[in-house]
Each structure stands twice: as structure tokens, then as C-alpha cells.
């Protein structure tokens, strides 16, 4: 019976994850694009590309998509709310297809910037419908690991790019990438709309049918109690006369600051720059493996870490998992930095160290902010707040990637990695104080924690 209830929620979540897979491919694409247009290596595979970019242009290639994401995030809730989660997710696949076509025909940096901007803006727009959809269709006992699969979908998309980039030139990869958004359109069209959104539009019968589908294709009488509870919650959360009023409450700014803190640790703790500049980093630390092959392994390690997060989070909770893995990642970063600074850690030591940091960051901190976004905000601000939080996270990602080249020139790679390690270690300690445990709690219970009415999060978490 439990599996019968979980199966439709898994199917609906994975249909949505195809969109995130397509978006993840846009994030991983600059990693294979940069070394080919910057001529980091000459080979039969990549040596035929005539387009070459300067160091300054490369810094924008690594980050411009992350700069345009926040604009989409800020508009995400407002633009997608009237159309619903499902229709919005279907439509947002179209700009991704257009972007891949622009990539394929690009003959100058300007067209690359245009394609990056399109993917970034579309990625921002999808934040609200994607993050709220999974929170609104899942039951509390499934929401944790199904929320984590969202980031897994993105990471899988990144890995696919690393894999394709080790075999094909970047233009061919761009052409292949057009297939996934088309598959996502087909899959999403087969799953139901969010019952929360349908009730908010007064479509009670449609909400009832949606719940019946999502709870295991059951009869209407089996969902009547849950439907009544949802109606009661939504009635209490009527939109205030002043639309900005909910954003002045503790129930918004407390979770918003928490999510921003988690994003900061992840991005400035080295997670983002390691992924984007993997090829160059592996080459500089003297990797015994070809830097492209090492990057493929990096993508696989990230995927395994995310999978472990999905499997463990239900049993360990988010807080313990985040504190322990982020601390380990920080320590390993510092060891790799010391090894390269003093000369004893080049080669195998640095290769395994960088792979370990990728693994541990993806066991928790890489996924955690996105898991929190879908559940920590009250219903009346959830769509807009999700977009705002995602936008803030991407701005931090932009700053981390754009600053990497300058940090590298000032501090060298060892100094930059040491800085990332210190941020991870200190951030891990802060997580003990700031992060409540939300695993297994209903959206109503999570809301009470951040409203300050009920904060049981730390009572049983004094020992980590």
C-alpha cells in the first residue's frame, strides 16, 4: 500500500525532473565549452574549433548564465502563478531548445552570451513552479527524498555534459541536447497539476482528481480528509490587502536568511568553481589522468554523492548530514591546498582530494538549499519567495565563478582552495546553530518552526 501511494508521486516528480535534467545540461555545458574555445589542449577531437576567446571572455562564459538566472527567479512566481505549475514547466522547455540551436550556430562570443543568457533566464523562471510542485504533490514521509531528486536531476544533467564533452565537440553536444527538453514536454503533459494550485483557483473537482491520482489512483472518498485539510489551510492563508505584508513577517525573512546562508557555504566553499573550472584545475594540480577523463569522473562522483544524500536524508535528517559532510569537504580542500603549496600533494593526492570534496559537498550542502526552498515558506509567498531565494543563490554562484580567476591570480590555486576550505569548515559550525530539522515534518509543522510558534528542531539535536 505504501509503494502504491508513493509510485504516482515518484512518477510525477521524475517527469518534472526531466526539465531539471535539461537545465542541468545547460549548467554543465560551459565546463566543456571553456577548454575547447580557450584552446587548453590540442587534439584531434577538439583542435578543429576556430572560435577562440580571451581570458576575460572566458570569465563571462563561466558566469553570465548565473547572472541572468536571478532575473528569471524574481519574475518566476509572478509570471508562472497564473498558468499553474504544470503548464509553466511545459512551456519553459521551449527556450532551452532555442538556446541549444543558438549554441550550435554560434560564431562569436556574443551569440554564446545570448545562448547562456537564455538558459539562465529560463532556469530562473522554472524555480517557482518546479520547487513548489514537488512540495505540494508529495506526502511528508516522501517529500525529503523526492525533493532531493530535484538536485539529482540537475547533477545528472551536468554529468551527461561531461560525458558527451569527452567524446564530441561542443557544437555536436549542443545539437544532442535538444532532445531532452522535448522528452520533458511529453512527460510533464502526462502528470496532474498541483492540487494546492487548483484549490487556490477554486477548481475543487480538479484538485480532487489530482489528489486521487497522486495518492495511488484511489477513490475520491480516500482523499476527502486531505482535501478538506488543504482547503482549511489555504483559507487561513488568504492574501493580505498589501501584497508586500507577508514579506515583512518572520515566517518569510527567517527561512530566507537560512536558505541564503546555505547557498553561501555551498558556492563560496568551492562547490561551484570546482565544477565549472574542473578541466583547468585537474591540469594544474598535475592529475595523472587526462583532465577530460578526470572531469567525467568528477561528474560521476557528484552524482553518486547526490544519490547517497537522497538515500540517507530520511534516516539521518538534514542537519546531521549537512554538518558532517561539509566539515569533511572543507578539511579535504585545505589538505589539497597544503599539498600543492608545499609540493608533496600533486598528482594522485590532489586528484583524489578534489574528487572527495565533490563527493562530500554533493552529499548535503549542494542539495540542501533547494530541498529547503520548497518547504520553508508559507503558502501565500511560496511561489515568489522560491524564485527570490533561487535568484539569490545564483547571484552567489555568479560571484563565486567570476571571482575565481581573480582569486587564482592573487592567491594561486593553493590559496584559493584553502580559502574555500576555511569557508566550508566555518560554515559547517554555523549550520549547527542555524539549521532546524525539517525532515519528516508536514508543511504546516515546518511553517510553525519559522513562525516561532513551535521550534522543536533543536530539542533532540543537541548531540551531532
pLDDT of residue 358: 94
Q: Rounded to an integer, what distance in angstroms lies between the CA atom of residue 168 and that of residue 368?
A: 33
pLDDT of residue 222: 85
Model confidence pLDDT, tens digit, residues 14-50: 999 999 999 999 999 998 898 888 754 444 444 455 7
pLDDT in tens, the chain (464 residues): 566 778 999 999 999 999 999 999 999 999 889 888 875 444 444 445 578 888 788 888 888 888 888 888 778 777 788 888 999 999 999 999 999 999 999 988 899 999 999 999 998 888 778 878 888 898 878 877 787 788 788 889 999 999 999 899 999 999 999 999 999 999 999 999 999 889 888 888 999 999 999 988 888 888 888 888 888 777 765 544 456 777 778 888 889 999 999 999 999 999 899 998 998 899 999 999 998 899 999 999 999 998 898 888 878 888 899 999 999 999 999 999 999 999 888 999 999 999 999 999 999 898 889 888 877 888 778 767 877 887 788 889 989 988 998 899 899 999 999 999 999 999 999 998 888 887 777 777 787 787 765 554 444 443 33
Q: Rounded to an integer, what distance in angstroms lies between the CA atom of residue 96 and that of residue 29?
A: 13
Would you say the C-alpha torsion 447, 452, 453, 454 has a positive or negative sign?
A: positive
pLDDT of residue 248: 79
CB 181 within 8 A of CB 96: yes
Mention every residue, 6+ apart, whose C-beta is less than 8 A from residue 308: 363
pLDDT of residue 236: 62
pLDDT of residue 339: 95
pLDDT of residue 343: 86
Quick one: residue 435, left, alpha or beta (phi over 0 = left, psi -120 to 50 = alpha)? beta
CA 208 to chain centre: 31
Quick one: residue 139, left, alpha or beta (phi over 0 = left, psi -120 to 50 = alpha)? beta
| DSSP code string of 291-341 | HHHHHHHHHHHHHHHHHHHHHHHHHH-HHHHHHHHHHHHHHHHHHHHHHHH
Amino acid at each position: 500500500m505504501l509503494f502504491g501511494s508513493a509510485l504516482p508521486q515518484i512518477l510525477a516528480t521524475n517527469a518534472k525532473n526531466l526539465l531539471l535534467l535539461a537545465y542541468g545540461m545547460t549548467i554543465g555545458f560551459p565546463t566543456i565549452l571553456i577548454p575547447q574555445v580557450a584552446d587548453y589542449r590540442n587534439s584531434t577531437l577538439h583542435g578543429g574549433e576556430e572560435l577562440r576567446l580571451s581570458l576575460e571572455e572566458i570569465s563571462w562564459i563561466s558566469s553570465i548564465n548565473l547572472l541572468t538566472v536571478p532575473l528569471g527567479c524574481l519574475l518566476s512566481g509572478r509570471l508562472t502563478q497564473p498558468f499553474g505549475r504544470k503548464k509553466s514547466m511545459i512551456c519553459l522547455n521551449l527556450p532551452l531548445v532555442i538556446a541549444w540551436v543558438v549554441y550550435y550556430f554560434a560564431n562569436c562570443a556574443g551569440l554564446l552570451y545570448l545562448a547562456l543568457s537564455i538558459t539562465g533566464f529560463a532556469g530562473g523562471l522554472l524555480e517557482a513552479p518546479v520547487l513548489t510542485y514537488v512540495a505540494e504533490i508529495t506526502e511528508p514521509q516522501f517529500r525529503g527524498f523526492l525533493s532531493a531528486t530535484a538536485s539529482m536531476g540537475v547533477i545528472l544533467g551536468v554529468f551527461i555534459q561531461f560525458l558527451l564533452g569527452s567524446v564530441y565537440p561542443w557544437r555536436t553536444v549542443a545539437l544532442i541536447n535538444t532532445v531532452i527538453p522535448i522528452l520533458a514536454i511529453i512527460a510533464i503533459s502526462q502528470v496532474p497539476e498541483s492540487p494546492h494550485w487548483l484549490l487556490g483557483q477554486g477548481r475543487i473537482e480538479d484538485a480532487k482528481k489530482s489528489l486521487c491520482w497522486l495518492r495511488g489512483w484511489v477513490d475520491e472518498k480516500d482523499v476527502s480528509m486531505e482535501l478538506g485539510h488543504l482547503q482549511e489551510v489555504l483559507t487561513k492563508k488568504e492574501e493580505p490587502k498589501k501584497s508586500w505584508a507577508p514579506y515583512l513577517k518572520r515566517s518569510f525573512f527567517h527561512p530566507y536568511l537560512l536558505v541564503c546562508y546555505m547557498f553561501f557555504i555551498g558556492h563560496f566553499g568551492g562547490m561551484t568553481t570546482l565544477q565549472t573550472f574542473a578541466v583547468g584545475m585537474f591540469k594544474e594540480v598535475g592529475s595523472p589522468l587526462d583532465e577530460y577523463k578526470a572531469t567525467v569522473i568528477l561528474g560521476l562522483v557528484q552524482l553518486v554523492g547526490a544519490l547517497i544524500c537522497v538515500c540517507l536524508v530520511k534516516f539521518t535528517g538534514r542537519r546531521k548530514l549537512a554538518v558532517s559532510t561539509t566539515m569533511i569537504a572543507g578539511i579535504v580542500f585545505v589538505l589539497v591546498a597544503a599539498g600543492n603549496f608545499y609540493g608533496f600533494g600533486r598528482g594522485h593526492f590532489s586528484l583524489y582530494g578534489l574528487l572527495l570534496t565533490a563527493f562530500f559537498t554533493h552529499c548535503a550542502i549542494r542539495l540542501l538549499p533547494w530541498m529547503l526552498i520548497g518547504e520553508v515558506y508559507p503558502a501565500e509567498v511560496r511561489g515568489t519567495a522560491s524564485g527570490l531565494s533561487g535568484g539569490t543563490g545564483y547571484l552567489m554562484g555568479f560571484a563565486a565563478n567570476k571571482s575565481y580567476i581573480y582569486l587564482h591570480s592573487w592567491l594561486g590555486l593553493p590559496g584559493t582552495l584553502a580559502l574555500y576550505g576555511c569557508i566550508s569548515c566555518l560554515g559547517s559550525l554555523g549550520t549547527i546553530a542555524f539549521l532546524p530539522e525539517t525532515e519528516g515534518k508536514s508543511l504546516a509543522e515546518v511553517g510553525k518552526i519559522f513562525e516561532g510558534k513551535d521550534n522543536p528542531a533543536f530539542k533532540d539535536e543537541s548531540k551531532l
